[in-house]
Amino acid sequence: FYTRVSERLRHKSRALTPWDYERLVLQRFAAIYKAKCLPAAAAKGPGAVDVLVIPDLRAQLPADAFAPRASADLLAEVQAHLEEVAPASARIVVRNPHYVAVSVRLGVRFHAGEDVRRASERLGDDLSRFLSPWAYDEGAELTIGGRIYASSILDFVDRRDYVDYVAEIRLARSENGVDFTVLPPTDEDYHVAAERPDQVLVAARRHHIDVIRERDYQQTSFTGIDYLKVELDFIIG
């Protein structure tokens, strides 16, 4: 209660700063989980206000839990409300963020006794849970912008009780969820990043699990996303 009162006193029910826009949206619309007012872009001219909204997964069952989108009606309602409390010179656009799919390719050896296909499917699901936890856990945070580091993925996979070891990793990203661009590995801080402030990184529909059958693994066999598979058998997780 005291937080809400102090926030009202701060913005006085008027939208002047980015913080004002965000708080006014969240206070008025219970169906909105997160709002972000983007920095003004010079190309859009003076008075341009770009507001991203993400619906609350607990309030509805979206068509895609990995990339939740507010309906056109809800976007229109939010925009109409902001136009009532913003300066007359403000040109407001309320929209969904742009979701970027991230696909992971791993060379993995599973522990002896594991069913390879089941373990691969399990790892694919675990990767999606790691990359998009909000699709599975109501309390998980959904971040606009940011980066996902290969090192954090490798650490996560290495901690799975059915994984013996991870040999290599490749990351790929897609703007449309279909056409992926492989990111070349770097010596340090290999990662995939949001390239615009309106992007959200999400798990791709599928990840690629290359099963290492032999205990001894030659690193040279993992030379790229289209490498020739000698020691490895390709399985989609």
Q: What is the per-residue pLDDT for 126?
A: 97
Distance, CA of 201 to CA of 142 (rounded, Å): 9
Q: What is the per-residue pLDDT for 159?
A: 96
Positive or negative: CA dihedral 5, 9, 13, 18: negative
Sequence ranges of the domains in the chain: 2-95, 98-236
Q: pLDDT by residue (tens digit) across 79-124?
A: 999 999 999 999 999 999 999 999 999 999 999 999 999 999 999 9
Q: What is the per-residue pLDDT for 39?
A: 76
Contacts of residue 50, defined as CB under 8 A and 6 or more positions apart, other chains included, come to: 37, 38, 40, 41, 44, 93, 95, 198
User: pLDDT by residue for the chain (237 residues), tens digit each?
Assistant: 444 444 444 445 687 899 999 999 999 999 999 999 997 765 577 888 999 999 988 766 656 889 999 999 999 999 999 999 999 999 999 999 999 999 999 999 999 999 999 999 999 999 999 999 998 876 788 999 999 999 999 999 999 999 999 988 999 999 988 899 999 888 779 999 999 999 999 999 999 999 998 766 655 555 544 443 333 444 444
Distance, CA of 24 to CA of 6 (rounded, Å): 13
Distance, CA of 210 to CA of 168 (rounded, Å): 9
What is this structure's pTM? 0.82
Distance, CA of 107 to CA of 122 (rounded, Å): 15
- CA distances, 87 to each of 26, 116, 212 (Å): 19, 61, 61
Residue 67 contacts residue 202 (beta carbons within 8 Å): yes
